A and B are shown apart, each in its own frame.
Chain A
């Protein structure tokens, strides 16, 4: 397998209310062709920022992302995305939403209708073409989101917390379908999630990020046959190890906050009691 995506020392600073926020610090890892990679990390660590940088929706302050060796500057036709809140246009029907990406590429109407119908069939939404998003359940909306992402025939599909706004049973079914879509299409998938079992179940590789500024803490290779059994010993071990790492991160963060708090308290003490130790 050849490198498909390369993250090379990706660093990101944000300016927020005159304060500089250090979101990502020299994040580097590679993603192979057809690989399924999950990115996990403590909440607010910058996982979604990282995904946005890979998508070309945001740019790194330094470092770069390369697709097949060429640097990403802005959105790429090879990269498609599935959104947490589905990102469907409420005024468009299921079919019109699915063909949106093709429409933006000026694919003739009859052709894009056929392609969109094919992908709707693929995600089990044949017969729902003329419904509006408000008539669909969360799971069905995300199926439309997946069909829309697939319809433009991308090489890479990015998923930003794609299963987190859906009830657990539906999400479980959808994860199985994504696994089989991954197998059938051989496309590269990158999933950002805070759900550890989900990350392990889907991925070939789990990238664990530290708390902010996010660095790569550890990368786990998931050498388990699919479909994966969450009760498998190796699954449970890996889950425990990653959870342990994340807890460690969380505790570090809390400690840092506490220390900062103690410092602030002593500052206040100094201000209120000048001259006293």
Chain B
């Protein structure tokens, strides 16, 4: 017997399967023309073949690497800035309004400029991804830093902690729940950004592949690629971010 609570945790799988079944039914009954909607079974078939092709996998890896580089770049700039903004008020009142103005602009509006400066390639894609990832990381880490109780700093001082261990053993774990949600948001944003850039600038990743397939009428192949990205995105979300989250849930 599965306890009721656990059973409801897996309800989403049932809903998903129902969605796929309805999709299959709509296609089989030809409620939509097959040139607009191939059957789910044929998409699955193509998907299973595609993921054994190195060229296909390489395209996914290419997009994923650009995304990761953007995320790491954003994290390494946003973390120290957000920490200083969260702990030093004069810096916060100067910096945060500027960050907010910058962040209010639609991220993709920078893309033509980035292409002009860096060419239509990986550099522009990585920088664009890091711009999009910057804001969720900055604001969550800043918020987390502001929420650290004054008393915890006193504890580190009383027990003679140096600056490095105060940061690594007190500040970082204290802000980690905020930081993890910021990273997760940034990761989700970045998938959208990366795919959009590839479609717009012909970077040879999976987004560009989908566009190529759909525009030449290979809808089944296009859907198979979308399915592949969805699976990768969900897998990383569930394993990597899921692990981080369950660690912080243990104590927070």
A residues with a Cβ closer than 8 A to B are 52, 55-57, 75, 77, 79-81, 83-85, 87, 89-92, 100-101, 103-105, 132-134, 152
B53 CB within 8 Å of chain A: no
In the complex the two chains form, is B158's CB within 8 Å of A57's CB? yes
B residues with a Cβ closer than 8 A to A are 149, 151-152, 154-161, 165, 169-170, 173-174, 176, 248, 250-252
In the complex the two chains form, is A105's CB within 8 Å of B160's CB? yes
Q: Which chain A residue shows the least CB distance to B172?
A: A91
In the complex the two chains form, is A75's CB within 8 Å of B158's CB? yes
Cα–Cα, bound, A223→B173 (Å): 47
Residues of A within 8 A of B161 (CB): 104
Cα–Cα, bound, A133→B250 (Å): 11
A90-B252, A132-B250, A134-B252 are known contacts. Are A101 and B159 too (CB-CB below 8 A)?
Answer: yes
The 6 A-B pairs with the shortest beta carbon distances in the complex, nearest first, are A101-B159, A87-B155, A91-B173, A132-B251, A87-B151, A104-B159
A89-B170, A91-B173, A104-B160 are known contacts. Are A81 and B251 too (CB-CB below 8 A)?
Answer: no
Cα–Cα, bound, A47→B252 (Å): 32
Q: Is the interface of A mostly helix, strand, loop or mixed?
A: loop
Q: In angstroms, how far is the closest chain B Cβ from the Cβ of A86?
A: 8
A101-B159, A105-B160, A134-B252 are known contacts. Are A81 and B149 too (CB-CB below 8 A)?
Answer: no
Tell which of B149, B159, B252 has the most Cβ of chain A within 10 Å. B159
Q: Which chain A residue shows the least CB distance to B156?
A: A104
Residues of A within 8 A of B173 (CB): 89, 91
Tell which of B158, B160, B250 has the most Cβ of chain A within 10 Å. B158
Extra inter-chain contacts (10) besides given A56-B157, A81-B155, A83-B151, CB under 8 Å: A55-B154, A79-B158, A87-B154, A87-B155, A89-B174, A91-B251, A100-B155, A105-B160, A132-B250, A132-B251
Q: In angstroms, how far is the closest chain A Cβ from the Cβ of B247?
A: 8
Cα–Cα, bound, A133→B160 (Å): 22
A89-B173, A91-B173 are known contacts. Are A81 and B250 too (CB-CB below 8 A)?
Answer: no
A75-B160, A134-B251 are known contacts. Are A57 and B152 too (CB-CB below 8 A)?
Answer: no
In the complex the two chains form, is A152's CB within 8 Å of B159's CB? yes
Residues of A within 8 A of B159 (CB): 75, 80, 100-101, 104-105, 152
Q: Which chain A residue shows the least CB distance to B173?
A: A91
Cα–Cα, bound, A77→B157 (Å): 10
In the complex the two chains form, is B154's CB within 8 Å of A57's CB? yes
Cα–Cα, bound, A231→B230 (Å): 73
Residues of A within 8 A of B248 (CB): 91
In the complex the two chains form, is A89's CB within 8 Å of B152's CB? yes
Q: In angstroms, how far is the closest chain A Cβ from the Cβ of B201?
A: 42
Q: In angstroms, how far is the closest chain B Cβ from the Cβ of A49?
A: 13
Cα–Cα, bound, A105→B156 (Å): 12
Residues of A within 8 A of B154 (CB): 52, 55, 57, 81, 83, 87
Contact for A85 among B151, B157, B160, CB less than 8 A = B151
Residues of A within 8 A of B170 (CB): 89
Cα–Cα, bound, A87→B155 (Å): 6
Cα–Cα, bound, A75→B159 (Å): 8
Residues of B within 8 A of A83 (CB): 151, 154-155
Residues of A within 8 A of B165 (CB): 104
Residues of A within 8 A of B174 (CB): 89, 91
Q: Which chain A residue shows the least CB distance to B152?
A: A87
A-B contact pairs, 25 of them (CB 8 A): A56-B157, A57-B157, A57-B158, A75-B158, A75-B160, A77-B160, A79-B158, A80-B158, A81-B155, A83-B155, A85-B151, A87-B151, A87-B154, A89-B170, A89-B173, A89-B174, A91-B174, A91-B176, A100-B159, A101-B159, A101-B160, A103-B169, A104-B156, A105-B160, A133-B251
